[in-house]
Amino acid sequence: GDSVTQMEGPVTLSEEAFLTINCTYTATGYPSLFWYVQYPGEGLQLLLKATKADDKGSNKGFEATYRKETTSFHLEKGSVQVSDSAVYFCALSDRGGGRRALTFGSGTRLQVQP
Amino acid sequence: KAGVTQTPRYLIKTRGQQVTLSCSPISGHRSVSWYQQTPGQGLQFLFEYFSETQRNKGNFPGRFSGRQFSNSRSEMNVSTLELGDSALYLCASSLVGQGGSGANVLTFGAGSRLTVL
C-alpha cells in the first residue's frame, strides 16, 4: 500500500538557517503530494502541494518539488523564523479510483531558536 | 469565511462509555473526512463521507462509526471506549465533486481531544 517516510525530528535550527525536511513516498499510482503544518493546539493547515512530476509547490517561503525519479518531496526554506516552529507532515493522495484519503508521514517537529 | 468547526474541543470519558464528536464543514464543502492522531500511530484515516454516504473507510474496528447529515455536518461515534482510543480526532472538509480524481485539498478543524480513563 501507499506510504510516506519522513526524517525524524526534532530538527533544531537557529533563526535564519536553511531548512530541509526529507520526505519519500511509495505509491502504486500517480499521487498528489502535500505538506501540512500543525502549530501547537491547532489542526493541520495545508502549506503547499504538487499534483504531478516536476511540479514545485511554494508558500510562505517554503518550497518542495515533486521528484518522481527519486519518489521524493523534500521541504525547504531558505531562512527560517521562530514562528515556523511547528510539526510538519508530508502526505500523499492516491488519485486512482477517486480515493480521497490522505496517507501521512509521521511528522517532523521543527524548533527554531532566536 | 468560517473554517471547519469541531465540538467538543476536549472531553474525558471512562472505559466502556461511548462518545459522539461533531464536525461542521466549511460552507459548500460536501466531503467530510475523519482522522485519528496519536503519538504512537500518527495520523490515521478513519472514514470519509460525501452526500450522506460513506465513500471510504480506514482500517478501524466497527466500534468507530460515523454519519453525515443533509447539511453536510458530520458526527463520529466511538462505542465501548478503550484506553487506546485516547487521541486527537481531526475532521477535514473538501470541495470536491462526486467521483473522479484530482488533488485532495483538505481543510482541517482544530480537533477534538479525547481522553479515556
- pLDDT tens digit string along A26-72? 988 788 899 999 998 888 999 999 988 999 999 999 999 999 999 99
pLDDT of B36 higher than 70: yes
Residue A96, pLDDT > 90, answer no
CB contact under 8 A, B56 and A46: no
Residues B79-100: tens digit of each pLDDT:
999 999 999 999 999 876 444 4
Confidence of residue B75 (pLDDT cuts 50, 70, 90): very high
pLDDT of residue B105: 80
- The pLDDT of residue A28 is 82
Decide if A102 and B105 are in contact by the 8 Å CB cutoff. no
Q: Please give the pLDDT value at position A42.
A: 87
CA atoms within 13 A on the CB side of A5: 7
Distance from CA of A53 to the nearest CA of B (A): 13
Residue A43 DSSP SS3: coil
> Could you tell me the three cell numbers for B14?
471512562
Instruction: Check whether B78 has a pLDDT greater than 70.
Output: yes
- The neighbouring-strand residues paired with B87 are B114
Residue A97 has pLDDT above 70, yes or no: no
Burial class (CB in 10 A: 0-12, 13-18, 19+), B58: middle
> In sequence order, what are the residues at sequence separation of 6 or more whose Cβ sits closer than 8 angstroms to the Cβ of residue A92?
A2, A4, A25, A27, A31, A32, A33, A34, A102, A103
Interface of B with A in 57-96 (CB under 8 A): 58, 90, 92, 94, 96
Model confidence band, residue A95 (pLDDT cutoffs 50, 70, 90): low
Q: How many CB pairs under 8 A join A and B?
A: 68
Q: How far B99 CA lies from chain A's nearest CA (Å)?
A: 5
B13 versus B2: the higher-pLDDT residue is B13
Mean pLDDT for the stretch of residues A70-77: 97
Is the pLDDT at B53 greater than 50, yes or no? yes
The closest CB to that of A106, out of B35, B42, B99, belongs to B42
Cβ partners under 8 Å of residue B40, min gap 6: none
Of B100, B106, B107, the CB nearest to A98: B100
- Kindly state the cell numbers that stand for B57: 473507510
Contact B55 A100 (CB under 8 A): yes
Mean pLDDT of chain A: 92
In the sheet that holds B19-24, the strands lie side by side as B5-7, B19-24, B74-78, B64-68
Top-confidence residue, A84 or B29: A84
Those residues whose C-beta lies under 8 Å from the C-beta of residue B74, and which sit 6 or more positions away, are B22, B23, B25, B32, B34, B49, B66, B67, B68, B91
Dist CA A64 CA A48 (whole Å): 8
pLDDT attached to residue A29: 78
